[in-house]
Structure 1
Amino acid sequence: MATLLLLRHGRTTANADGGLAGRQPVELDDTGRAQAVAVGARLAGLPLAEVVSSPLIRCRQTLDLALPDLPPAVEDGLIECGYGEWEGQPLKKLAKDPLWPVVQLHPSAVVFPGGEAMAAMAGRAVGAVRRWDADVTEKHGAEALWLACTHGDIIKAIVADAMGLHLDHFQRIVADPASVTVIRYTPTRPFLIRLNDTGGDLAGLVPPKRRRRPRKSAATSSDAVVGGGAGTT
Protein backbone atom coordinates (compact mmCIF):
# COMPACT_ATOMS: atom_id res chain seq x y z
CA MET A 1 0.00 0.00 0.00
CA ALA A 2 1.02 3.63 -0.45
CA THR A 3 2.54 5.85 2.25
CA LEU A 4 0.53 8.74 3.71
CA LEU A 5 2.06 12.00 4.94
CA LEU A 6 -0.34 13.87 7.23
CA LEU A 7 0.46 17.56 7.38
CA ARG A 8 -1.19 19.79 9.94
CA HIS A 9 -1.80 23.35 8.77
CA GLY A 10 0.45 26.13 10.02
CA ARG A 11 -0.37 28.22 13.08
CA THR A 12 -3.46 30.39 12.79
CA THR A 13 -4.64 33.59 14.43
CA ALA A 14 -6.98 31.47 16.56
CA ASN A 15 -4.12 29.19 17.68
CA ALA A 16 -2.10 32.23 18.69
CA ASP A 17 -5.03 33.78 20.60
CA GLY A 18 -5.93 30.56 22.45
CA GLY A 19 -9.26 30.07 20.74
CA LEU A 20 -11.02 27.06 19.20
CA ALA A 21 -11.31 27.86 15.50
CA GLY A 22 -13.45 24.92 14.49
CA ARG A 23 -14.77 25.43 10.98
CA GLN A 24 -14.45 29.20 11.02
CA PRO A 25 -12.45 30.70 8.12
CA VAL A 26 -9.46 31.66 10.26
CA GLU A 27 -6.21 32.19 8.38
CA LEU A 28 -2.54 31.58 9.01
CA ASP A 29 -0.68 34.20 11.02
CA ASP A 30 2.88 35.29 10.22
CA THR A 31 4.32 32.37 12.18
CA GLY A 32 2.01 29.96 10.38
CA ARG A 33 3.04 31.26 6.98
CA ALA A 34 6.70 30.87 7.92
CA GLN A 35 5.99 27.32 9.11
CA ALA A 36 4.31 26.50 5.81
CA VAL A 37 7.29 27.75 3.82
CA ALA A 38 9.66 25.78 6.04
CA VAL A 39 7.75 22.53 5.72
CA GLY A 40 7.63 23.09 1.97
CA ALA A 41 11.43 23.09 1.93
CA ARG A 42 11.36 19.78 3.80
CA LEU A 43 8.87 18.30 1.34
CA ALA A 44 10.73 19.52 -1.73
CA GLY A 45 11.89 16.67 -3.91
CA LEU A 46 9.46 14.10 -2.56
CA PRO A 47 7.61 12.42 -5.46
CA LEU A 48 4.10 13.05 -4.15
CA ALA A 49 1.56 11.18 -6.25
CA GLU A 50 -1.43 13.08 -4.81
CA VAL A 51 -2.02 16.06 -2.51
CA VAL A 52 -5.34 16.28 -0.66
CA SER A 53 -6.68 19.03 1.58
CA SER A 54 -9.37 19.82 4.07
CA PRO A 55 -11.65 22.45 2.52
CA LEU A 56 -10.84 25.04 5.21
CA ILE A 57 -8.74 28.02 4.16
CA ARG A 58 -5.94 27.48 6.68
CA CYS A 59 -5.10 24.15 5.07
CA ARG A 60 -5.30 25.54 1.55
CA GLN A 61 -3.08 28.47 2.54
CA THR A 62 -0.55 26.05 4.02
CA LEU A 63 -0.40 24.06 0.79
CA ASP A 64 -0.27 27.19 -1.38
CA LEU A 65 2.94 28.14 0.44
CA ALA A 66 4.40 24.67 0.96
CA LEU A 67 3.58 23.03 -2.37
CA PRO A 68 2.63 25.80 -4.80
CA ASP A 69 3.12 23.59 -7.86
CA LEU A 70 0.83 20.81 -6.62
CA PRO A 71 -2.79 21.97 -6.50
CA PRO A 72 -4.67 19.80 -3.98
CA ALA A 73 -7.86 17.85 -4.30
CA VAL A 74 -10.38 18.90 -1.66
CA GLU A 75 -11.65 16.15 0.65
CA ASP A 76 -14.62 17.06 2.85
CA GLY A 77 -13.93 14.05 5.07
CA LEU A 78 -10.80 15.83 6.35
CA ILE A 79 -12.57 18.96 7.55
CA GLU A 80 -12.14 19.99 11.18
CA CYS A 81 -14.41 18.47 13.82
CA GLY A 82 -17.76 20.22 14.06
CA TYR A 83 -17.47 21.77 17.53
CA GLY A 84 -20.90 23.41 17.36
CA GLU A 85 -21.45 25.95 20.15
CA TRP A 86 -17.82 25.56 21.24
CA GLU A 87 -16.57 27.00 17.98
CA GLY A 88 -14.85 30.37 18.30
CA GLN A 89 -14.74 30.22 22.12
CA PRO A 90 -11.55 30.79 24.18
CA LEU A 91 -10.06 27.53 25.41
CA LYS A 92 -9.77 29.00 28.93
CA LYS A 93 -13.53 29.43 28.98
CA LEU A 94 -14.20 25.99 27.52
CA ALA A 95 -11.99 24.37 30.17
CA LYS A 96 -14.66 25.33 32.73
CA ASP A 97 -17.46 23.65 30.77
CA PRO A 98 -18.73 20.34 32.31
CA LEU A 99 -18.13 18.69 28.91
CA TRP A 100 -14.40 19.50 29.00
CA PRO A 101 -13.29 16.54 31.17
CA VAL A 102 -15.37 14.23 29.00
CA VAL A 103 -13.60 15.55 25.90
CA GLN A 104 -10.31 14.84 27.63
CA LEU A 105 -11.01 11.42 29.14
CA HIS A 106 -13.93 9.89 27.25
CA PRO A 107 -14.03 11.56 23.81
CA SER A 108 -15.81 8.61 22.21
CA ALA A 109 -18.93 9.65 24.16
CA VAL A 110 -18.79 13.34 23.24
CA VAL A 111 -21.35 15.04 21.02
CA PHE A 112 -20.66 18.77 20.86
CA PRO A 113 -23.79 20.89 21.45
CA GLY A 114 -25.07 21.81 18.02
CA GLY A 115 -22.14 20.00 16.45
CA GLU A 116 -20.57 16.67 15.68
CA ALA A 117 -19.85 13.53 17.68
CA MET A 118 -16.13 12.92 18.07
CA ALA A 119 -16.66 9.29 17.14
CA ALA A 120 -18.33 10.41 13.90
CA MET A 121 -15.41 12.77 13.23
CA ALA A 122 -12.94 9.93 13.66
CA GLY A 123 -14.95 7.55 11.50
CA ARG A 124 -15.29 9.86 8.51
CA ALA A 125 -11.64 11.00 8.69
CA VAL A 126 -10.26 7.46 8.87
CA GLY A 127 -12.62 6.39 6.10
CA ALA A 128 -11.44 9.26 3.90
CA VAL A 129 -7.71 8.53 4.22
CA ARG A 130 -8.19 4.80 3.76
CA ARG A 131 -10.23 5.39 0.58
CA TRP A 132 -7.61 7.77 -0.76
CA ASP A 133 -4.78 5.41 0.15
CA ALA A 134 -6.42 2.54 -1.69
CA ASP A 135 -7.02 4.77 -4.71
CA VAL A 136 -3.45 6.11 -4.74
CA THR A 137 -2.10 2.56 -4.45
CA GLU A 138 -4.24 1.37 -7.34
CA LYS A 139 -3.28 4.28 -9.60
CA HIS A 140 0.36 4.85 -8.65
CA GLY A 141 1.57 1.62 -7.04
CA ALA A 142 2.45 0.43 -3.57
CA GLU A 143 5.56 2.63 -3.33
CA ALA A 144 3.68 5.89 -3.92
CA LEU A 145 3.79 8.77 -1.46
CA TRP A 146 0.80 11.05 -0.98
CA LEU A 147 0.01 13.92 1.35
CA ALA A 148 -3.11 15.11 3.17
CA CYS A 149 -3.25 18.51 4.88
CA THR A 150 -5.74 18.62 7.72
CA HIS A 151 -6.30 19.47 11.40
CA GLY A 152 -4.95 18.44 14.80
CA ASP A 153 -7.85 16.35 16.10
CA ILE A 154 -8.28 14.75 12.68
CA ILE A 155 -4.63 13.68 12.61
CA LYS A 156 -4.82 12.40 16.18
CA ALA A 157 -7.88 10.29 15.33
CA ILE A 158 -6.20 8.83 12.24
CA VAL A 159 -3.07 7.99 14.25
CA ALA A 160 -5.13 6.36 16.99
CA ASP A 161 -6.81 4.15 14.40
CA ALA A 162 -3.45 3.26 12.86
CA MET A 163 -2.09 2.28 16.27
CA GLY A 164 -5.15 0.22 17.16
CA LEU A 165 -5.99 2.60 20.02
CA HIS A 166 -9.48 3.29 21.28
CA LEU A 167 -10.58 6.85 20.56
CA ASP A 168 -10.56 7.49 24.31
CA HIS A 169 -6.74 7.41 24.10
CA PHE A 170 -6.37 9.85 21.24
CA GLN A 171 -5.77 12.86 23.51
CA ARG A 172 -2.39 11.31 24.36
CA ILE A 173 -1.25 12.06 20.80
CA VAL A 174 0.22 15.43 19.77
CA ALA A 175 0.07 17.03 16.31
CA ASP A 176 1.71 20.46 16.27
CA PRO A 177 1.14 23.10 13.58
CA ALA A 178 3.03 22.29 10.35
CA SER A 179 4.07 18.89 11.72
CA VAL A 180 4.37 15.81 9.52
CA THR A 181 3.03 12.42 10.58
CA VAL A 182 3.64 9.40 8.35
CA ILE A 183 1.56 6.22 8.14
CA ARG A 184 2.04 3.25 5.85
CA TYR A 185 -1.02 1.05 5.42
CA THR A 186 -0.62 -2.62 4.55
CA PRO A 187 -3.18 -5.36 3.81
CA THR A 188 -3.35 -6.41 7.46
CA ARG A 189 -2.30 -3.41 9.59
CA PRO A 190 -0.85 0.10 9.41
CA PHE A 191 2.61 1.21 10.52
CA LEU A 192 3.24 4.58 12.16
CA ILE A 193 6.53 5.75 10.60
CA ARG A 194 6.77 9.26 12.05
CA LEU A 195 4.71 11.26 14.52
CA ASN A 196 4.56 15.03 15.00
CA ASP A 197 7.82 15.54 13.08
CA THR A 198 8.56 19.28 12.92
CA GLY A 199 12.15 19.30 11.73
CA GLY A 200 13.51 15.99 10.50
CA ASP A 201 14.81 15.19 7.00
CA LEU A 202 12.02 13.60 4.98
CA ALA A 203 14.23 12.28 2.17
CA GLY A 204 14.33 8.84 3.77
CA LEU A 205 10.66 8.38 2.89
CA VAL A 206 11.47 8.04 -0.81
CA PRO A 207 11.47 4.29 -1.57
CA PRO A 208 14.71 2.86 -2.97
CA LYS A 209 14.85 1.74 -6.57
CA ARG A 210 13.47 -1.73 -6.97
CA ARG A 211 15.67 -4.66 -7.74
CA ARG A 212 14.61 -6.94 -10.55
CA ARG A 213 13.32 -9.42 -8.00
CA PRO A 214 12.31 -7.32 -4.99
CA ARG A 215 12.64 -9.11 -1.72
CA LYS A 216 9.88 -9.00 0.84
CA SER A 217 10.51 -6.39 3.54
CA ALA A 218 8.68 -4.51 6.26
CA ALA A 219 8.32 -1.61 3.81
CA THR A 220 6.19 -3.69 1.45
CA SER A 221 4.63 -6.30 3.71
CA SER A 222 2.57 -6.51 6.88
CA ASP A 223 5.44 -7.94 8.95
CA ALA A 224 7.22 -5.81 11.55
CA VAL A 225 11.02 -5.94 11.70
CA VAL A 226 11.98 -7.93 14.78
CA GLY A 227 14.50 -5.95 16.83
CA GLY A 228 13.62 -2.69 15.11
CA GLY A 229 15.69 -2.98 11.90
CA ALA A 230 18.19 -0.55 10.44
CA GLY A 231 15.75 2.25 9.71
CA THR A 232 15.82 4.43 6.59
CA THR A 233 18.98 5.85 5.05
Structure 2
Amino acid sequence: MNADQTRPVPAGTAGTATRVLLVRHGRTPTTGIELPGRAAGLHLSEAGREQAAHVARRLVPLGPTALYSSPLERTRETAAPTVEATGLPLRLDDGLLECEVGDWTGRRLADLARLEAWADVQHRPSGFRFPGGESFGEMQERMVATVDRLRAAHPGGTVVLFSHADPIRCLLAHALATPLDAFQRISVGPCSVSAIAYHRDPDGTAQDPVVLTMNSTDEPLQTLVAS
Protein backbone atom coordinates (compact mmCIF):
# COMPACT_ATOMS: atom_id res chain seq x y z
CA MET A 1 0.00 0.00 0.00
CA ASN A 2 1.37 3.42 -0.91
CA ALA A 3 1.78 6.15 1.67
CA ASP A 4 -1.32 8.30 2.26
CA GLN A 5 -3.58 5.64 0.73
CA THR A 6 -6.66 4.25 2.46
CA ARG A 7 -9.10 1.46 1.81
CA PRO A 8 -12.41 0.75 3.56
CA VAL A 9 -12.98 -2.05 6.01
CA PRO A 10 -14.08 -5.15 4.03
CA ALA A 11 -17.85 -5.21 3.53
CA GLY A 12 -19.79 -7.07 6.17
CA THR A 13 -17.04 -6.99 8.78
CA ALA A 14 -16.95 -3.36 9.94
CA GLY A 15 -19.37 -3.98 12.80
CA THR A 16 -17.15 -6.66 14.31
CA ALA A 17 -13.85 -4.82 13.90
CA THR A 18 -11.86 -2.93 16.48
CA ARG A 19 -10.08 -0.07 14.76
CA VAL A 20 -6.73 1.10 16.07
CA LEU A 21 -5.54 4.50 14.85
CA LEU A 22 -1.84 5.18 15.40
CA VAL A 23 -0.77 8.83 15.48
CA ARG A 24 2.86 9.86 15.52
CA HIS A 25 3.52 13.00 17.55
CA GLY A 26 3.93 16.32 15.76
CA ARG A 27 7.17 18.04 14.88
CA THR A 28 9.54 19.19 17.59
CA PRO A 29 12.56 21.52 17.37
CA THR A 30 14.84 18.46 17.05
CA THR A 31 12.84 16.36 14.55
CA GLY A 32 15.26 15.06 11.93
CA ILE A 33 18.25 16.50 13.82
CA GLU A 34 18.62 14.53 17.05
CA LEU A 35 17.62 11.15 18.44
CA PRO A 36 15.60 12.24 21.49
CA GLY A 37 14.65 8.80 22.77
CA ARG A 38 12.80 9.11 26.06
CA ALA A 39 14.47 12.33 27.21
CA ALA A 40 12.05 14.53 29.11
CA GLY A 41 11.36 18.16 28.32
CA LEU A 42 10.99 17.97 24.54
CA HIS A 43 7.89 19.87 23.42
CA LEU A 44 6.15 20.41 20.10
CA SER A 45 7.29 23.23 17.87
CA GLU A 46 4.78 25.75 16.53
CA ALA A 47 4.49 23.62 13.39
CA GLY A 48 3.90 20.57 15.59
CA ARG A 49 1.07 22.31 17.45
CA GLU A 50 -0.56 23.17 14.14
CA GLN A 51 -0.23 19.54 13.06
CA ALA A 52 -1.85 18.39 16.31
CA ALA A 53 -4.83 20.68 15.74
CA HIS A 54 -5.14 19.40 12.17
CA VAL A 55 -5.06 15.74 13.15
CA ALA A 56 -7.73 16.37 15.80
CA ARG A 57 -10.06 17.71 13.10
CA ARG A 58 -9.44 14.53 11.10
CA LEU A 59 -10.00 12.16 14.01
CA VAL A 60 -13.16 13.64 15.53
CA PRO A 61 -15.53 12.52 12.70
CA LEU A 62 -14.53 8.93 13.41
CA GLY A 63 -16.07 9.04 16.88
CA PRO A 64 -13.12 7.73 18.89
CA THR A 65 -13.95 5.36 21.73
CA ALA A 66 -10.77 5.86 23.74
CA LEU A 67 -7.55 7.90 23.63
CA TYR A 68 -4.18 6.63 24.83
CA SER A 69 -0.76 8.24 24.75
CA SER A 70 2.88 7.65 25.47
CA PRO A 71 3.70 9.61 28.64
CA LEU A 72 6.26 11.87 26.93
CA GLU A 73 5.44 15.56 26.53
CA ARG A 74 5.45 15.58 22.74
CA THR A 75 2.82 12.84 22.47
CA ARG A 76 0.61 14.28 25.20
CA GLU A 77 0.73 17.70 23.52
CA THR A 78 -0.19 16.09 20.18
CA ALA A 79 -3.19 14.42 21.81
CA ALA A 80 -4.38 17.56 23.61
CA PRO A 81 -6.52 19.05 20.79
CA THR A 82 -8.23 15.67 20.25
CA VAL A 83 -8.92 15.40 23.99
CA GLU A 84 -10.45 18.88 23.97
CA ALA A 85 -12.54 18.20 20.86
CA THR A 86 -13.90 14.82 21.97
CA GLY A 87 -14.13 15.27 25.73
CA LEU A 88 -12.56 11.85 26.20
CA PRO A 89 -9.94 11.35 28.92
CA LEU A 90 -6.36 10.76 27.84
CA ARG A 91 -4.89 7.61 29.36
CA LEU A 92 -1.12 7.30 29.53
CA ASP A 93 0.47 3.95 28.77
CA ASP A 94 4.18 3.14 29.02
CA GLY A 95 3.75 0.50 26.32
CA LEU A 96 3.45 3.31 23.75
CA LEU A 97 6.78 4.89 24.69
CA GLU A 98 9.55 5.60 22.24
CA CYS A 99 12.32 3.03 21.99
CA GLU A 100 14.79 3.26 24.88
CA VAL A 101 17.92 4.31 22.97
CA GLY A 102 20.14 4.36 26.06
CA ASP A 103 23.54 5.97 25.48
CA TRP A 104 22.40 7.40 22.15
CA THR A 105 19.75 9.60 23.77
CA GLY A 106 19.99 13.17 22.53
CA ARG A 107 22.80 12.53 20.04
CA ARG A 108 22.79 14.19 16.64
CA LEU A 109 21.66 11.93 13.81
CA ALA A 110 24.49 13.17 11.60
CA ASP A 111 27.02 11.97 14.19
CA LEU A 112 25.30 8.62 14.66
CA ALA A 113 25.24 8.04 10.91
CA ARG A 114 29.05 7.96 10.96
CA LEU A 115 29.13 4.98 13.32
CA GLU A 116 29.58 1.44 12.03
CA ALA A 117 26.56 0.39 14.08
CA TRP A 118 24.33 2.75 12.09
CA ALA A 119 24.33 0.28 9.20
CA ASP A 120 22.82 -2.32 11.52
CA VAL A 121 20.11 0.13 12.61
CA GLN A 122 19.14 0.76 9.01
CA HIS A 123 19.61 -2.68 7.42
CA ARG A 124 19.78 -5.30 10.20
CA PRO A 125 17.67 -3.88 13.04
CA SER A 126 16.47 -7.29 14.20
CA GLY A 127 19.92 -7.97 15.65
CA PHE A 128 20.60 -4.51 17.06
CA ARG A 129 20.35 -3.30 20.65
CA PHE A 130 20.90 0.35 21.54
CA PRO A 131 23.87 0.65 23.91
CA GLY A 132 22.33 0.68 27.37
CA GLY A 133 18.83 0.48 25.89
CA GLU A 134 16.23 -1.65 24.12
CA SER A 135 16.51 -3.86 21.09
CA PHE A 136 14.18 -3.33 18.15
CA GLY A 137 12.77 -6.80 18.74
CA GLU A 138 11.89 -5.93 22.33
CA MET A 139 10.27 -2.69 21.19
CA GLN A 140 8.16 -4.54 18.63
CA GLU A 141 7.08 -7.17 21.16
CA ARG A 142 6.17 -4.43 23.64
CA MET A 143 4.15 -2.51 21.07
CA VAL A 144 2.29 -5.57 19.79
CA ALA A 145 1.41 -6.66 23.34
CA THR A 146 0.25 -3.14 24.23
CA VAL A 147 -2.02 -2.83 21.21
CA ASP A 148 -3.44 -6.32 21.82
CA ARG A 149 -4.24 -5.31 25.40
CA LEU A 150 -5.79 -1.94 24.54
CA ARG A 151 -7.89 -3.15 21.63
CA ALA A 152 -9.20 -6.02 23.77
CA ALA A 153 -10.40 -3.41 26.26
CA HIS A 154 -12.52 -1.70 23.57
CA PRO A 155 -14.01 -4.41 21.32
CA GLY A 156 -15.74 -2.95 18.29
CA GLY A 157 -14.46 0.53 19.12
CA THR A 158 -12.13 3.06 17.56
CA VAL A 159 -9.03 3.44 19.72
CA VAL A 160 -6.56 6.26 19.06
CA LEU A 161 -2.98 5.73 20.20
CA PHE A 162 -0.49 8.63 20.22
CA SER A 163 3.02 7.23 19.96
CA HIS A 164 6.34 7.55 18.12
CA ALA A 165 7.69 6.72 14.66
CA ASP A 166 9.68 3.54 15.31
CA PRO A 167 7.12 1.85 17.60
CA ILE A 168 4.39 2.55 15.03
CA ARG A 169 6.53 1.30 12.14
CA CYS A 170 7.41 -1.88 14.02
CA LEU A 171 3.72 -2.51 14.76
CA LEU A 172 2.80 -1.96 11.11
CA ALA A 173 5.54 -4.36 10.04
CA HIS A 174 4.10 -6.99 12.38
CA ALA A 175 0.55 -6.43 11.07
CA LEU A 176 1.81 -6.72 7.49
CA ALA A 177 3.84 -9.85 8.31
CA THR A 178 6.90 -7.92 7.15
CA PRO A 179 10.31 -8.97 8.53
CA LEU A 180 11.61 -6.64 11.21
CA ASP A 181 14.73 -6.06 9.12
CA ALA A 182 12.52 -4.31 6.55
CA PHE A 183 10.58 -2.07 8.94
CA GLN A 184 12.72 0.97 8.04
CA ARG A 185 11.05 0.92 4.61
CA ILE A 186 7.78 2.06 6.19
CA SER A 187 7.33 5.84 6.34
CA VAL A 188 5.57 7.37 9.38
CA GLY A 189 5.76 11.15 9.26
CA PRO A 190 5.02 13.64 12.05
CA CYS A 191 1.32 13.66 12.98
CA SER A 192 0.49 11.04 10.35
CA VAL A 193 -2.28 8.54 10.98
CA SER A 194 -1.93 4.82 10.36
CA ALA A 195 -4.84 2.46 10.96
CA ILE A 196 -5.31 -1.25 11.53
CA ALA A 197 -8.58 -3.17 11.77
CA TYR A 198 -8.72 -6.22 14.01
CA HIS A 199 -11.60 -8.57 13.19
CA ARG A 200 -12.98 -11.64 14.91
CA ASP A 201 -15.06 -14.44 13.45
CA PRO A 202 -18.53 -15.07 14.94
CA ASP A 203 -17.00 -17.78 17.14
CA GLY A 204 -14.49 -15.29 18.54
CA THR A 205 -11.48 -16.50 16.55
CA ALA A 206 -9.14 -13.65 15.70
CA GLN A 207 -8.53 -12.96 12.02
CA ASP A 208 -5.32 -11.54 10.60
CA PRO A 209 -5.16 -7.75 11.07
CA VAL A 210 -6.00 -5.55 8.09
CA VAL A 211 -3.85 -2.45 7.55
CA LEU A 212 -6.23 0.25 6.35
CA THR A 213 -3.84 3.14 5.85
CA MET A 214 -0.27 4.19 6.57
CA ASN A 215 1.32 7.62 6.91
CA SER A 216 -1.94 9.41 6.12
CA THR A 217 -1.72 13.18 6.55
CA ASP A 218 -4.51 14.85 4.59
CA GLU A 219 -7.34 12.79 3.13
CA PRO A 220 -10.61 12.26 5.08
CA LEU A 221 -10.52 9.23 7.33
CA GLN A 222 -14.25 8.42 7.37
CA THR A 223 -13.72 5.64 4.80
CA LEU A 224 -11.81 3.72 7.45
CA VAL A 225 -15.07 2.92 9.21
CA ALA A 226 -17.29 2.38 6.18
CA SER A 227 -19.52 -0.67 6.38
TM-score scaled by length of structure 2: 0.86
Which position in structure 2 is the counterpart of 1:75? Answer: 93
Counterpart AA for 1:128: T
Larger radius of gyration: 1
Deviation at 1:201, TM superposition (A): 0.2
Which position in structure 2 is the counterpart of 1:170? Answer: 183
Instruction: Supply the distance in 2 between the matched residues of 1:169 and 1:127 (Cα, whole angstroms).
Output: 20
Counterpart AA for 2:197: R
RMSD: 1.2
Instruction: Supply the distance in 2 between the matched residues of 1:55 and 1:147 (Cα, whole angstroms).
Output: 14
Q: 2:145 aligns with which of 118, 122, 127?
A: 127
Structure number with greater CO (CA < 8 Å, separation at least 6) is 2
Q: 1:23 aligns with which of 35, 38, 54?
A: 38
Corresponding residue SS for 2:31: helix
Corresponding residue SS for 1:130: helix
Which position in structure 2 is the counterpart of 1:89? Answer: 107
Structure 1 residue runs of 5 or longer lacking an equivalent are 209-233
Counterpart AA for 1:43: L
Counterpart AA for 1:20: L
Q: Deviations over 1:49-80 (max 9, x none)?
A: 11111111100001112332222111111100
TM-score scaled by length of structure 1: 0.84
Q: Deviations over 1:179-199 (max 9, x none)?
A: 000001121201110000000
Corresponding residue SS for 2:67: strand
Instruction: Supply the distance in 2 between the matched residues of 1:44 and 1:188 (Cα, whole angstroms).
Output: 27
Aligned residues: 202
Counterpart AA for 1:151: H
Corresponding residue SS for 2:219: coil
Corresponding residue SS for 2:35: coil
Counterpart AA for 1:188: Q
Alignment of 1:14-163 (within 5 A): 14-15=30-31, 18-25=33-40, 26-68=42-84, 69-137=87-155, 142=156, 144-163=157-176
Instruction: Supply the distance in 2 between the matched residues of 1:76 and 1:6 (Cα, whole angstroms).
Output: 15
Corresponding residue SS for 1:24: coil
Deviation at 1:166, TM superposition (A): 1.3
Structure 2 residue runs of 5 or longer lacking an equivalent are 1-16, 200-205
Q: Could you tell me whether the CA contact under 8 Å between 1:47 and 1:206 is conserved in 2?
A: no
Counterpart AA for 1:22: G
